[in-house]
A and B are shown apart, each in its own frame.
With several copies, the nearest count.
Chain A
Amino acid sequence: MKRSAAKMSDTKNVSASTTSQVRFGGVGGQGIVLAGRLLGLAAAIFDGKEAVCTQSYGPEARGGASKTDVIISDKPVDYPFVIEADVLAVLFQEAYVKFRPSLKAGGTLIIDTELVTPAEDDKDVIGIPATKIAENLGTRLATNVVILGYVVGKTNVVSRDSMVEAIRTIMKPKIVDLNIKALDAGISLAQSDGVS
């Protein structure tokens, strides 16, 4: 088809759509891009929602603050970046400073207590020992999935089963189980807070 004319119905009550904007902030090598892709994959393929994942690259391959945005909605996602984050999860001090303003009032801020020290006046910060948990599971490389699990457990933006499927789809078989453990550790930690 050369041309597709959208029905007017397409243009009705778009504002009714429910959309979650999730941002991961960190530094090259921490796997936050992977975290974002896992979340988006789980939403778009296994939860049947609409999802877009984007990331910002700096010139540094290492050492610069970078971010990954995931937008999840029940309607097609047009603008692919976070405008006001519902959830901001950060694993790097510079990233905390740079992206903190993008969290909407009342949004969920999650940090790794070992890697980030929030400003004194920063209220309602959820600090979790993601790195420690990952180390206890055998490798700090799983830190990204621990915090991802926490986001999932906290927000239910996607189902745990879909996350597991996403992990199985993307990751090498030999590290799948480890990462499912990391995921569940994050989820249970979130739920044990009893916040969600």
Chain B
Amino acid sequence: MDLSLAQVPVGRVHVIAERCKQCDFCITYCPTDVLIYSEETNAKGYHYPMVAEGKESACVHCRFCDLICPELAIYTTDVADEEDASGESDAG
């Protein structure tokens, strides 16, 4: 599997909690182990991913959590991009 990264930016993790079904893919396959499960559950009763304590700067915006997610429930943005004040996300 190719998890190689183009560069090493800092990413911001976005979670759409209500879509999550707790499949574990994003948490398991995050190359930098950024994610853990939330305490709370969403309406369907699933625990959803969140950034682990101490991992706040660990996301490298590799987008694997985004691409692998069957529910379109998570994605990341490049903090640098945001500082270029480009409001719209073009993660796609």
Q: Taking the complex as a whole, does A directly touch B, i.e. does some CB pair lie under 8 Å apart?
A: yes
Spell out A's residues near B (CB within 8 Å): 63, 92-94, 115
- Measured CA separation A41–B43 after assembly (Å): 34
Main secondary structure of the interface of B (DSSP, over half): loop
Report the count of interface residues on B (CB-CB < 8 A). Answer: 4
- How far, in whole Å, are A93 and B43 apart by their CA atoms in the complex? 8
Nearest chain B CB to A32 CB, angstrom units: 15
Enumerate chain A residues within 8 angstroms of B44, measured Cβ to Cβ.
63, 94
A-B contact pairs, 8 of them (CB 8 A): A63-B21, A63-B44, A92-B45, A93-B43, A93-B45, A94-B43, A94-B44, A115-B45
**Residues in chain B near residue A94, CB distance under 8 A:** 43-44
B residues 29-46 near A (Cβ < 8 Å) are 43-45
B18 nearest CB across to chain A (Å): 12
Q: Which B residues touch A115, using CB under 8 A?
A: 45
Bound-complex Cα distance A111 to B8 (A): 50
Task: With A93-B43, A93-B45, A115-B45 given, name 5 new contacts (CB 8 A).
Answer: A63-B21, A63-B44, A92-B45, A94-B43, A94-B44
Residues of A within 8 A of B21 (CB): 63
In chain B, what residue has the closest Cβ to A62? B21
